[in-house]
A and B are shown apart, each in its own frame.
Chain A
Amino acid sequence: MGIRERLSGNEAVALAMKQINPDVMGAFPITPSTEIPQYFSAYVDNGQVDTEFIPVESEHSAMSTCIGAEAAGCRAISATSSCGLCYMTEMLYVAASDRLPITLAVSCRALSGPININNDHSDAMGVRDAGWLMLFAETNQEAYDNYLQAMRIGEAVGLPIMVCQDGFITSHAIENIELVEDEKVKAFVGEYKPQHYLLNKDEPMAVGAYATPVYYMEAKRQQAQAMMDAKDVIKKVGAEFGQMTGRTYGMIEKYEMDDAEEAIVIIGSSAGTAKEAVNELRAQGKKVGLVKVRAFRPFPAEEICEALKNVKSFAVMDKDDSFNGHCGPMYAEVTASLYAAGVSAPRGISYIYGLGGRDVRVESIQRVFGELGEIAKTGVTGETYRYLDVRE
Chain B
Amino acid sequence: MKWKASEMTPDVKWKDITPGCNIFEGGTSCTVETGDWRTMKPVLDADKCRQCLLCAPVCPDMSIPVKNGKRGDFNYFFCKGCGICANACPFGAITMVKDEK
Identify which of A98, A204, A221 contacts B26 (C-beta below 8 A).
A204
Check if A218 is an interface residue, CB within 8 A of chain B.
Answer: yes
B12 contacts the other chain (CB 8 A): yes
When distances are taken between beta carbons in the complex, the residues of chain B under 8 Å from A211 are 21
* A196 vs B19: C-alpha distance when bound (angstroms): 10
B49 an interface residue at 8 Å Cβ cutoff? no
Check if A205 is an interface residue, CB within 8 A of chain B: yes
Flag if A209 contacts B23 (CB, 8 Å): yes
Q: Shortest CB–CB separation between residue A190 and chain B, in angstroms?
A: 20
Q: What separation, in Å, do the CA atoms of A208 and B26 have in the docked complex? A: 14
Q: A204-B26, A206-B23, A209-B22 are in contact. Are A214 and B14 (CB under 8 A)?
A: no
Q: Which of these, B10, B13, B15, B25, contacts A214 with CB under 8 Å?
A: B10
Query: Which chain B positions have C-beta within 8 A of A196?
Result: 22, 24
Does A215 contact B17, Cβ atoms closer than 8 Å?
A: yes
A205 contacts B23, C-beta separation under 8 Å: yes
Complex CA gap A205/B26 in Å reads 7
CB closest chain-B residue, reference A218? B14
Known: A215-B8, A221-B14, A222-B14. A207 touches B24 (CB 8 A): no
In the complex, are the beta carbons of A205 and B12 less than 8 A apart?
Answer: no
B1-42 vs A: 1/0 string, CB under 8 Å? Answer: 000000010101111010111111110100000000000000
User: B24, A203: Cβ atoms under 8 Å?
Assistant: yes
- Size bracket, chain B contacts: 10 to 19
Residues of B within 8 A of A109 (CB): none
B residues near A203, Cβ cutoff 8 Å: 24
Complex Cα distance A205/B24, Å? 4
Query: Which of B12, B17, B19 gathers the greatest number of chain A CB atoms within 10 Å?
Result: B19
A211 to B17, CA, bound (A): 11
**Known contacts A215-B8, A215-B12, A218-B12; A206 and B17 CB within 8 A of each other:** no
- From 76 to 135 in chain A, residues with beta carbon under 8 angstroms from any chain B beta carbon are 97-100
Cα-based distance from A97 to B22 in the complex (angstroms): 10
A102 to B21, CA, bound (A): 18
Q: Check A98 against B20 for contact (C-beta < 8 Å).
A: yes
CB atoms of A205 and B22 under 8 A apart:
yes
Contact with B along A190-224 (1 / 0, CB 8 A): 00000010000001111111010011011101100
Please give me the residue from chain A that is nearest to B15 by CB atom: A222
Give chain A nearest CB distance to B26 CB in angstroms. 4
User: A226 CA to B13 CA in the complex, in Å?
Assistant: 16
Bound: A203/B23 CA distance, A: 10
Residue in B17, B23, B26 whose CB lies within 8 Å of A218: B17
**What 0/1 readout, one digit per residue, does chain A (325-361) give for beta carbons within 8 Å of chain B?**
0000000000000000000000000000000000000
Output the least CB separation between B49 and chain A (Å): 34
Query: Does chain B have a CB within 8 A of A158?
Result: yes
B24 to chain A, nearest CB (A): 5
Known A203-B24, A204-B24; judge A99-B10 contact (CB<8 A). Answer: no
Complex Cα–Cα for A184 and B10 (A): 48
In the complex, what residues of B have CB within 8 A of residue A225's CB? 14
Q: How far is the CA of A276 from the CA of B10 in the complex (A)?
A: 57
Contact of A207 among B10, B13, B22 (CB under 8 A): B22
| Chain A residue with the shortest CB-CB distance to B8 | A215
- CB-CB under 8 A for A99 and B20, given A204-B25, A206-B28: yes
Closest residue of chain A to B26 (Cβ to Cβ) is A204
Contacts of A217 in B (CB 8 A): 14
* A196-B13 Cα distance, complex, nearest whole Å: 21
Complex CA–CA separation, A100 to B20 (angstroms): 9
Beta-carbon contact of B13 and A218 below 8 Å: yes
Contacts of B10 in A (CB 8 A): 214-215
> How far apart are the CA atoms of A97 and B18 in the complex, in Å?
11
Docked CA distance A222–B21 (Å): 10
Known: A206-B28, A214-B10. A219 touches B21 (CB 8 A): yes
**Among B10, B20, B24: residue with most chain A CB under 10 A:** B20
Interface contacts beyond A196-B22, A204-B26, A218-B17: sample of 11 additional A-B pairs, CB < 8 Å, sorted by A: A158-B19, A204-B24, A205-B22, A214-B10, A215-B8, A217-B14, A218-B13, A218-B14, A219-B14, A219-B17, A222-B19
Per CB-CB distance, the 3 closest pairs between chain A and chain B, nearest first, are A209-B21, A218-B14, A221-B14
Query: Can you give 26 contacting A-B residue pairs, CB < 8 Å?
Result: A98-B20, A158-B20, A196-B22, A203-B24, A204-B25, A204-B26, A206-B26, A206-B28, A207-B20, A209-B20, A209-B22, A209-B23, A211-B21, A214-B10, A215-B12, A215-B21, A218-B12, A218-B17, A219-B14, A219-B20, A221-B14, A222-B14, A222-B15, A222-B17, A222-B19, A225-B14
